[in-house]
């Protein structure tokens, strides 16, 4: 039977977990990816609609929606929900949802990213960021030159270790979608949600955001008690970054570009190795199938030869049995020959011979 090469993880194997604060549009975009209204979405007077870990699975994937940490009243429950989702373990695509205000980072989003990294250190830089509902003016400004783009992200990553920063190509800026404005449970195709570079939401999730494995034992509780203190700290750091001179900003820009280049080269090498492995597995499978087919053919020949030998032996035994049934036993055949030949060889003894035979059979002359 032909062997099949190991298949890549399916959409069901990789959980997409959305992390972000109320109003960031997590539920709406998860619905888009799911192809149906899986999560309640829309207006809720400034508050989020997600209050606990919400899990949905359909033919388009495995989705986890989490509540935001920015809501102080729900912060404890939100932290527990995020940890609960990550403790499911296995393969994930982690999506952080971020919003902007007049082109500036909302520091509560940066704090959420930092605290989640502390709770699940295996995430490192393997995640994607969706900066959602960006105004047209800000998008235009971000796209005109690289510097505003890098300044925004330098602020977002303020205080974060370099190993925990995703490369900038893992970040998608999505403008406001008119069809979603002030709508509840509105569904749009992920192919119609496109960033300034023409990348669709579907392509971003499937081909840009990396998958990673999270060990459930390595996930701790989100330290929500640090939320306020960390937010204040990051705000100060963001202000300091804005005051940095152009030389520092240029060095940082080059550093990030180098990271993007290195990541692209690593990805290309990994894909090349995976292709080599795939071909090797395919060749190994073909060779195994060929050997199995050869062995199977050999066994069939041996079975056929054995069958013929058994049939021949059975035929010979049947012939021998038939021949034995027709021929008298050797003892009686010899005796018959003696009876036939004896008188001819010695006629004078015939009377004596008959007398002896009669005596043996209990017959006596003269009626005795």
Residue-wise pLDDT for 275-305, tens only, equals 888 888 888 888 888 888 888 899 999 988 9
The alpha carbon dihedral of 3, 5, 6, 12 has a sign of: negative
Q: Tens digit of pLDDT for each residue in 158-211?
A: 889 989 999 888 999 998 876 666 567 778 899 999 887 889 999 999 999 999
| Residue 194 maps to a domain | yes
3-state secondary structure of 94: strand
Check whether residue 102 and residue 112 sit in a common domain.
yes
pTM of the model: 0.69
Residue ranges of alpha helices (H) inside 15-90 are 26-34, 75-86
- Domain membership of residue 122 (yes or no) is yes
Instruction: Look up residue 208 and give its DSSP letter.
Output: I
Nearest-angstrom CA–CA distance, 187 and 35: 8
Domain residue limits at 256: 245-313
Task: Please state, in angstroms and as integers, the Cα–Cα distance from residue 348 to each residue in 61, 153, 236, 340, 345, following that order.
Answer: 116, 139, 149, 15, 9
Asked if the structure places residue 2 within a domain, the reply is no
Same domain, 203 and 112: yes
Q: What CATH number should be reported for the domain holding residue 225?
A: 3.40.50
Of 138 and 331, more confident: 138
Mean pLDDT of the chain: 82
Largest CA distance in the chain: 157
- Shared domain check, 148 and 36: yes
49 and 137 together in one domain: yes
Asked if residue 356 has pLDDT above 50, the reply is yes
Same structural domain, 167 and 213: yes
Q: What mean pLDDT comes out for the span 332-347? A: 56
Q: What's the pLDDT tens digit per position in 24-33?
A: 889 889 999 9
Percent of the chain with pLDDT over 70: 80
Using the 3D structure, point to which of 186, 218, 243 is the last residue of a domain: 243
Q: Where are the alpha helices (DSSP H) in the chain?
A: 26-34, 75-86, 107-119, 136-144, 146-156, 201-203, 227-242, 246-326, 330-345, 350-361
Please check whether residue 143 is in contact with residue 105, taking contact to mean a CB–CB distance below 8 angstroms. Answer: no
* 25 and 162 both lie in a single domain: yes
Q: Is 155 helix (H, G, I), strand (E, B) or coil?
A: helix
Q: Higher pLDDT residue, 104 or 37?
A: 37
- Residue 145 and residue 91 share a domain: yes
350 found inside a domain: yes
- The answer to whether residue 259 is domain-embedded is yes
Task: Give the end of a domain, one of 226, 243, 260.
Answer: 243
Which residues make beta-bridge pairs with 104? Answer: 101
Give me the residue label for tokens 């190991």.
6
103 phi and psi, to 5 degrees? 85, 5
What's the total number of domains in the chain? 3
Please state, in angstroms and rounded to a whole number, the distance separating the CA atoms of residues 306 and 337: 44
Q: What is the pLDDT of residue 332?
A: 53
Query: Residue 208: which residues within 8 A CB-CB, separation 6 or more?
Result: 128, 169, 170, 172, 199
Pair (119, 210) in one structural domain: yes
Closest CA to 153 of 200, 96, 202: 96
Question: What is the predicted pLDDT for the residue at 5?
Answer: 40
Nearest CA-CA partner of 150 in 142, 159, 139, 138: 142
Q: Is 198 left (phi over 0), alpha (psi -120 to 50) or beta?
A: left
Q: Which of 74-88, 170-184, 315-329, 337-351 has the lowest mean pLDDT?
A: 337-351
CA nearest to 218, candidates 89, 93, 305: 89
Indicate whether 140 pLDDT > 90. Answer: no
Query: Is residue 70 in a domain?
Result: yes
Are 136 and 281 part of one and the same domain? no
In whole angstroms, give the CA distance from residue 324 to residue 322. Answer: 5
In this structure, the answer to whether residues 345 and 278 fall within a common structural domain is no
C-beta separation of 33 from 64 below 8 A: no
DSSP 166: P
pLDDT score, position 2 = 41
Instruction: Choose between 218 and 149: higher pLDDT.
Output: 218
Assess if residue 46 is contained within a domain.
yes
Position 344 scores a pLDDT of: 53
Q: Are 92 and 42 in contact (CB under 8 A)?
A: no
Q: What does the pLDDT average to over 138-152?
A: 75
Distance CA 30, CA 27 (A): 5
The answer as to whether 62 is a domain residue is: yes
Is 82 in the same domain as 203? yes
Closest of 184, 204, 182, 183 to residue 193, by C-alpha = 204
- Report how far residue 26's alpha carbon sits from residue 32's, in angstroms, rounded to the nearest whole number: 10
Gap between the Cα atoms of 31 and 54, Å rounded: 12
How many C-beta atoms surround the C-beta of residue 11 within 10 A? 17
Greater confidence (168 vs 43) lies with: 168
Same domain, 105 and 64: yes
Last residue of a domain, one of 191, 222, 243: 243
pLDDT at residue 170, as a whole number: 93
Residue 36 is predicted with a pLDDT of: 92
- Pick 60 or 269 by higher pLDDT: 60
pLDDT at 111 over 80: yes
Radius of gyration of the chain (CA): 45
């Amino acid at each position: 039977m032909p062997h099949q090469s190991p298949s890549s993880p399916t959409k069901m194997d990789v959980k997409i977990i959305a992390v972000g604060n109320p109003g960031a549009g997590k539920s709406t975009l998860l619905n888009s990816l799911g192809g149906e209204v899986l999560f309640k979405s829309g207006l809720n007077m400034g508050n989020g609609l997600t209050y606990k870990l919400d899990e949905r699975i359909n033919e388009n994937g495995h989705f986890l929606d989490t509540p935001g940490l920015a809501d102080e009243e729900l912060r404890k429950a939100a932290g527990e929900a995020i940890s609960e989702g990550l403790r499911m373990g296995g393969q994930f695509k982690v999506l952080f949802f971020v919003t902007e205000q007049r082109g500036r980072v909302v520091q509560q989003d940066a704090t959420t990213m930092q605290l989640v990294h502390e709770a699940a250190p295996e995430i490192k830089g393997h995640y994607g960021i969706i900066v959602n509902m960006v105004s047209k003016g800000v998008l235009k400004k971000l796209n005109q030159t690289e510097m505003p783009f890098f300044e925004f992200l330098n602020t977002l990553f303020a205080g974060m270790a370099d190993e925990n920063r995703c490369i900038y190509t893992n970040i998608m800026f999505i403008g406001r979608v008119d069809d979603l404005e002030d709508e509840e449970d509105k569904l749009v195709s992920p192919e119609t949600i496109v960033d300034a570079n023409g990348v669709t939401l579907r392509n971003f999730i499937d081909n840009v955001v990396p998958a990673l494995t999270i060990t459930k034992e390595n996930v701790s509780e989100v330290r929500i008690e640090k939320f306020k203190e960390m937010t204040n700290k990051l705000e100060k750091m963001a202000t300091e970054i804005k005051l940095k001179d152009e030389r520092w900003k240029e060095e940082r820009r080059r550093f990030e570009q180098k990271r993007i280049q290195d990541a692209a080269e690593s990805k290309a090498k990994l894909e090349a190795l995976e292709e080599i492995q795939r071909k090797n597995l395919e060749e190994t499978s073909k060779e195994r199938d060929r050997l199995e087919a050869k062995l199977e053919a050999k066994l069939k020949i041996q079975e056929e030869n054995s069958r013929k030998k058994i049939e021949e032996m059975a035929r010979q035994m049947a012939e021998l049995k038939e021949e034995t049934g027709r021929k008298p036993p050797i003892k009686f055949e010899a005796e018959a020959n003696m009876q036939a030949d004896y008188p001819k060889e010695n006629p004078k003894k015939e009377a004596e011979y008959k007398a002896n035979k009669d005596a043996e059979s209990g017959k006596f002359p003269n009626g005795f």
